[in-house]
């Protein structure tokens, strides 16, 4: 039987400030880069055939 998943701890202090700053400076990706990423995702999705 699997062990229960523990709750994620709350970020505090310097880690919280660094995380907040990173969330304010999110960089947008270009449509070309997004298409490239989706192409790779589709390739991996086709390659991952797991028996059930």
At residue 50, the pLDDT reads: 73
Give pLDDT tens digits for 10-39: 999 999 999 999 999 999 999 999 999 999
Sequence-distant (6+) residues with CB within 8 A of 11 are 19
Q: What is the DSSP letter of 13?
A: H
* pLDDT for 52 beyond 70: no
The DSSP secondary structure of 1-52, one letter per residue, reads -PPPPPPPPPP-HHHHHHHHHHHHTPPPPPHHHHHHHHHHHHHHHHH-----
The Cα–Cα gap between 46 and 39 comes to 11
The band of 1, judged by pLDDT with boundaries at 50, 70 and 90, is confident
What's the mean pLDDT in 5-11?
92
């Amino acid at each position: 039987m699997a062990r229960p998943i523990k709750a994620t701890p709350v970020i505090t202090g310097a880690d919280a400030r660094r995380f907040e700053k990173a969330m304010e400076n999110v960089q947008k990706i270009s449509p070309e880069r997004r298409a490239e990423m989706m192409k790779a995702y589709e390739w991996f999705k086709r390659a991952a055939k797991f028996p059930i």
